A and B are shown apart, each in its own frame.
Chain A
């Protein structure tokens, strides 16, 4: 089977700081991949590069046979809208919109009518146990609920890849696991692959496979062996 996303030899520096020094990443369709490593090792940078949110200084990223590094902003935006979903640690919801509107946002941006978009969003919120909170604004939700809304928003467009950077970082272990279970379950149901950055082994254990990043270099043990 061909990998869905391949990142090879990524280098990225911020001034004097080297964030990535030749990191690789291979993601197959539908698989859940964890990225672990110590703080500051470059996990987030790797994820951002792989998702096309930042451009690496050198290296190639191929998504579905296309070079991500050579796409225009418009193409990459379209990719984010249709093929990628994102869940970050916090602060990714639009505070002015309700939970329902936040979830429906990617569909609306893709030109889907409000009613249809919100119907699908309602269904997804239901599945994530947030039926009663659809009309609440992010400020009125708990951290766990906000993360679940973020998960719903990331999954609404039925993306092929879900990028999650410390999605449970701000949560206690019970709500963290709730979020992770819903995330992995929904991802498997819709066949989305997941790239999961975490420093918590118990969260990483939700993945099928894991890589470790150290000093900007990734170790893929499964491939090394």
Chain B
């Protein structure tokens, strides 16, 4: 998903000023990375140029803040196309973690230590996310849960690998 598509989706519920757009984006999509104003205006300029939005009113001195944007037919079609297209599941085949384990085994270092360190790291992250989740609203919780489930999956992989380290070491060295 791009910022442009997100803006189009936000405008579909009604015209907004650029400032509102940034606020709404940060609330629903931004989570960790709030938008800079510069990004807001370059994105809007691009959308205007492509005819996906129009300006339907200017207030006051006509500065960038004062423009109200509306989505066009083409813009709505764009949103529809985005939603229609399922996200491609990530393949997770190029795992940096796995590379580290193999690296440790190849060099005769402790792969278990690598895994343990990683587990700590993951657990730290999970604790942090859990804390945020408990303080946040529903949107926060869902976002955090998404991350937690992924980290949980990683952790299970770590445990699983730890159980098979000896076998793996034999194969790698053999």
Direct contact of A and B (CB under 8 A): yes
B148 at the interface (CB under 8 A from A): yes
How many Å from the CB of B99 to the closest CB on chain A? 22
Whether B134 pairs with A181 at a CB distance below 8 angstroms is: yes
| Residue from the list B120, B127, B148, B149 in contact with A208, Cβ < 8 A | B127
Whether A205 pairs with B123 at a CB distance below 8 angstroms is: yes
Size category, A interface? 10 to 19
B152 at the interface (CB under 8 A from A): yes
Within 8 A of A (CB), among B119-138: 119-120, 122-123, 126-127, 129-130, 134
B116 at the interface (CB under 8 A from A): yes
Kindly list 5 other residue pairs between chains A and B, CB separation below 8 angstroms, not including A202-B149, A205-B148.
A201-B126, A202-B130, A204-B126, A205-B129, A212-B119
Whether B127 pairs with A201 at a CB distance below 8 angstroms is: no
B155 at the interface (CB under 8 A from A): yes
Number of A-B contacts (CB under 8 A): 34
CA distance in complex: A221, B148 (Å):
21
CA distance in complex: A202, B134 (Å):
13
Question: In the complex, what residues of A have CB within 8 A of residue B155's CB?
Answer: 201
Considering the complex, give the chain A residue whose CB is closest to the CB of B158: A201
A38 at the interface (CB under 8 A from B): yes
Chain A to chain B contacts (Cβ below 8 Å), 14 pairs: A38-B163, A181-B134, A201-B123, A201-B126, A201-B151, A201-B156, A204-B126, A205-B123, A205-B126, A205-B127, A205-B129, A208-B127, A210-B123, A219-B116
Whether B152 pairs with A201 at a CB distance below 8 angstroms is: yes
CA distance in complex: A207, B122 (Å):
13
A135 at the interface (CB under 8 A from B): no
Considering the complex, give the chain B residue whose CB is closest to the CB of A205: B126
A90 at the interface (CB under 8 A from B): no
Considering the complex, give the chain A residue whose CB is closest to the CB of B134: A181
Whether B148 pairs with A202 at a CB distance below 8 angstroms is: yes
Question: In the complex, what residues of B have CB within 8 A of residue A210's CB?
Answer: 123
Question: In the complex, what residues of A have CB within 8 A of residue B156's CB?
Answer: 201
Question: In the complex, what residues of A have CB within 8 A of residue B134's CB?
Answer: 181, 184-185
A63 at the interface (CB under 8 A from B): no
Whether A38 pairs with B123 at a CB distance below 8 angstroms is: no
Whether B159 pairs with A202 at a CB distance below 8 angstroms is: no
Within 8 A of B (CB), among A170-209: 181, 184-185, 201-202, 204-208
Given contacts A201-B155, A202-B152, A205-B148, contact A221 B120 (CB under 8 A): yes
